[in-house]
Structure 1
């Protein structure tokens, strides 16, 4: 089993809960081939007009700029990493109600018609990654599970809509640690209980691999 872990927080685990979730998952994973794609460590220029200019230049045979070359290489590397994985684990925080920009860039790279999805002859979207499984590991300091706050949460929901709804991955596990910043007197317990669930998710995946 090939497991790709997409790590989307460059803060140390002593300070960032989602980084600790990543470490805990890796420590409890056994019997699989695991690769980490660290969105902050990779060279990931932001998705924009330069990428479309690069596509046009490839068609016309023009020379690419440095940024254009980097974009094409980064996009291909992200696609190759995703394509090789049987299971994709996303470890990320909620920052300002959404995901880190670097994780969004990774999604932009792989959110490609003909790769992650396609349209059929009737214009209906067809998911192309139904053979893959996914696990969500998310940390958020506030409480977003209540009916009042849930509509504001655009990190885990966004990721699930993309990888599950558009790409068609089967989300087999989801661990969300929340509220530790809102309730500092309970933070240690909240985080510890959440990390136990992360370890369990890794062990469950390891058991399937065996």
Structure 2
């Protein structure tokens, strides 16, 4: 089994989401010790933002039809989508920045969203091609958004990740939340306790390698 561990927070050792992903991966390895882990730090290795040159993979495959910039961007997209598709389990750390995900994480997702690789268009609409994977999204939030209609309307972090990974065909999307971490010591402690309990439950939930291999 292969696990891809992805961090995106810019806060280094002070990051809540990095602690959540670290604890999640540790719990997963405790329950699945034969898992091979690959690590990607998007704050340190940020893919360039999606551009016209990065659309090169949509052109015919002959390198002669691509500019040097397009070949470079295409190679980056290919490396990232291949790494993603090779993983059975993806643990993604995503802090809430200005009601959404970090731009570094969005840049990575833009590279993954390739027709013919992670999804395809059909006469009946788009179909995801990454089925059989498990995604565990470790979300950190300074405020509390999940407990009210107004809060849920403001966050575009969890909703976006569920939508885009679902678009890729992934149905096993598990959420770990630590929210209210900036609302005082008691709220922060409660957030970590809740997240820790969630990690122990979600990371240990059964995974079917045969389903992943068949996808």
Flag whether TM exceeds 0.5 (same fold): yes
2:6 is the counterpart of 1:6: yes
Name the Cα RMSD after superposition.
2.5
TM-score (norm 2): 0.83
SS in 2 for 1:36: strand
- 1:136 — aligned with what? 137
2:164 is the counterpart of 1:186: no
- 1:38 — aligned with what? 41
SS in 2 for 1:148: helix
User: Structure 1 residues 51, 148: CA separation in 2 closer, same or farther (over 3 Å shift)?
Assistant: same
Q: What are the within-5 Å matches in structure 2 for residues 76-87 of structure 1?
A: 76-87=78-89
User: Structure 1 residues 49, 84: CA separation in 2 closer, same or farther (over 3 Å shift)?
Assistant: same
TM-score (norm 1): 0.85
| Cα distance in 2 between the residues matched to 1:101 and 1:81 | 20
Q: What are the within-5 Å matches in structure 2 for residues 1-210 of structure 1?
A: 1-13=1-13, 15-30=14-29, 31=33, 32-52=35-55, 59=62, 61=64, 64-65=67-68, 67-120=69-122, 122-145=123-146, 146-164=148-166, 166-204=167-205
TM superposition shift of 1:201: 3.1
Any runs of at least 4 consecutive aligned residues in structure 1 with deviations exceeding 4 A, and if so which?
A: 53-60
SS in 2 for 1:41: coil
User: Structure 1 residues 102, 153: CA separation in 2 closer, same or farther (over 3 Å shift)?
Assistant: same
How many residue pairs match? The answer is: 204
User: Structure 1 residues 97, 43: CA separation in 2 closer, same or farther (over 3 Å shift)?
Assistant: closer
User: Structure 1 residues 158, 63: CA separation in 2 closer, same or farther (over 3 Å shift)?
Assistant: closer
User: Structure 1 residues 43, 199: CA separation in 2 closer, same or farther (over 3 Å shift)?
Assistant: same
- Does the Cα contact within 8 Å between 2:95 and 2:140 map onto a contact in 1? yes
SS in 2 for 1:138: strand
User: Structure 1 residues 131, 29: CA separation in 2 closer, same or farther (over 3 Å shift)?
Assistant: closer
Deviations 1:3-35 (A, max 9, x none): 11221113223x221011122123323221111
Unaligned runs of 5+ in 1: none
